[in-house]
Amino acid sequence: GWGYQEAFVVCRQLGLPATDAQSVYYYNSFGYGHGIPTLYNWRCIGNESSLNDCLKSTSSCYYSYRSVYRISGVSCKGSIVPGNCSTGSMRLVGPNGPNKVEGRVEYCSNGVWGTVSRYGFDVRDAHVVCRRLGHQTPRALIIWNAYFGQGSGPVVFYYLGCTGSEDRLEHCTYSSSPYYLSHATDVGVKCSERVLTDCINGSVRLVNGTTPDEGRVEVCINGEWGAVCGRYWDRSETKVVCKQLGYSQDAVEGSVFRYSKFGDGDYQQILWNIQCTGSETSLTSCSNYHNDNCYYGRTVGIKCYNTTNCTHGEIKLYGGQSNAEGDLLICFNGVWIFVCDWWSILPNVVCRQLGYQDNNWASYSYNSLFGSNNNVAPMVVVRFSCSGNENSLDYCSNNTYNYHCDTAFGFICSSVVNCSNGTIRLTDGGGDNEGRVEICTDGIWMTIDARYYWNYNNAKVVCRQLGYYDTWSVAITDTNWSGKNERVGYRYVCTGTENKLSSCSKYSPSSYANYWFNQKRGGVDCQYNDTG
């Protein structure tokens, strides 16, 4: 291998800028030099004083496929690296420079400041770092992936294995970093002292929310408040916390936010990988695994909901332009929830339960098309299985699952307005001779799918059917008409000789609402007949 660490060692050995050194190995970029190269497969840590101190092999680097030797080179950039630190020294480099509170972890090796990889780095390693920097009873928050910027020099420690009791990182087990490891994996920590309070062991609270019913989950363990890792956190864990906070025992539901929506706080997570059944009375009664494999940005937050006066099984649609469309909300044990996994709910069953007539144009949407989210109501995986003949979802079989989800399904129901099939009209135009075309289909006004084939021939037929002069008809496509959220019907292909649009060839539309929302709509600009 010939990478950053090797280039760094070469540039430093030559007294040249090395902090941004780059390896160059693409087929003899700087020529062949003299003699036959015999040193191959270099492995430097980055703290070596000379290239000769690195591991290497003596096999040939002849590349038979191209009949060339692959000669390595370097590009020395950045700043010169003096030997200005004592081996074993440590520091944190934060936004305002070196300090002992927060920043990128740096360790001096052979007179050069290097970094620590986030791979394998856990809270026990962080405690050793903080203790080395003078924190007597440390708490530490681990921050991944060069949050405080990428360092330079060697990546000294890779897969640290501290027990937490060591005084220095070099006393822990570790591996040397592989040649391909970049500073994008540099780990950072925030150090602080433990603060003991008179909180009751096992009590919970929600922190940093905008209302009392939401926030970062914190639990009291041995007099300390700490956050909770979001890994494996789902409905059951949320139920336990909400019950513990005094919400309804029988009908409790809550929303889950796994990725630090309410911040990470200043301290490490105190519980990891919690798994509850939902029947527990406190969070500390659930099983949890202290493998410490949780990091900055994964702190869990929740929102608890009180029961309402809705009737179990009642449904409504959320976020649509009318009551006939939206993401599906269902009353579940007195709490409105969004349904994430509709499985085989047929749109007509939902629309029938909402009081709409059966027709061929009920459709469904996915990925929270109408704006549903966990701030509005909990999102729950409920799998319904319907035949299509049911009058409500109550008659469909269903299963409720424990795991959390992030997007909901929705439905669009169509009201029959008793227009005459094949009738057309123009809307949203500047005058009555122009606008978006709507055609009555099965008693419903539908807009035209104009992604393909909407052209002069189609416009001629529309204008002719409406009684306008058809020779100068203009076809228009637009995605921004007010009807952009209306049901898209057929795609029409006309020859131009037809007397009405319904006589043209047509292609069936998709039943996925996501597919036709914000697609191009067909319109026309017709010329008035010359009466002179």
- Copy the structure tokens of residue 235: 């409905």
DSSP secondary structure code for residue 359 in this structure: -
Where does residue 401 fall: left (phi above 0), alpha (psi -120 to 50 degrees), or beta otherwise?
A: beta
So what's the pLDDT on residue 450?
86
So what's the pLDDT on residue 67?
47
Site of tokens 């203790």: 131
DSSP secondary structure code for residue 393 in this structure: G
CA gap 179, 121 in Å, rounded = 19
Q: Evaluate whether 450 touches 457 at the Cβ level (below 8 Å).
A: no
So what's the pLDDT on residue 482?
55
Q: What is the pTM of this model?
A: 0.70
Where does residue 127 fall: left (phi above 0), alpha (psi -120 to 50 degrees), or beta otherwise?
A: alpha
In 263-352 the beta strands, taken as DSSP E runs, fall at: 269-271, 301-305, 315-319, 325-332, 335-339
So what's the pLDDT on residue 385?
86
So what's the pLDDT on residue 491?
87
Q: Evaluate whether 251 touches 311 at the Cβ level (below 8 Å).
A: no
How many Å is the Cα radius of gyration of the chain? 33
Alpha carbon of residue 52 to chain centroid: 46
Domains of the chain: 4-75 (3.10.250.10), 90-193 (3.10.250.10), 204-305 (3.10.250.10), 315-353+363-412 (3.10.250.10), 424-527 (3.10.250.10)
So what's the pLDDT on residue 160?
92
CA gap 340, 328 in Å, rounded = 9
DSSP secondary structure code for residue 407 in this structure: -
- Copy the structure tokens of residue 324: 């006939």
Q: How many CA atoms within 13 Å lie on the side-chain side of 528?
A: 6
In 222-341 the beta strands, taken as DSSP E runs, fall at: 224-228, 253-257, 269-271, 301-305, 315-319, 325-332, 335-339
Interacting residues of 373 by C-beta distance below 8 A, sequence separation 6+ = 379
Write the pLDDT tens digit of every residue in 13-49.
888 888 778 877 655 556 555 556 666 677 887 788 8
Interacting residues of 225 by C-beta distance below 8 A, sequence separation 6+ = 197, 199, 205, 218, 219, 267, 270
Spatial CA neighbour of 359 closest among 437, 446, 436, 427: 446
CA gap 426, 468 in Å, rounded = 12
- Copy the structure tokens of residue 118: 């986030």
Residue 202, number of CB atoms within 10 A of its CB: 14
- Collapsing DSSP to helix, strand or coil, 395 comes out as helix
The values of phi and psi at residue 202, to 5°, are 95, -10
Spatial CA neighbour of 428 closest among 325, 322, 321, 523: 523
Residues of the chain with pLDDT under 70: 1, 25-40, 58-70, 83, 178-180, 249-251, 267-268, 289-295, 341-345, 359-360, 479-486, 510-518, 530-532
So what's the pLDDT on residue 66?
45
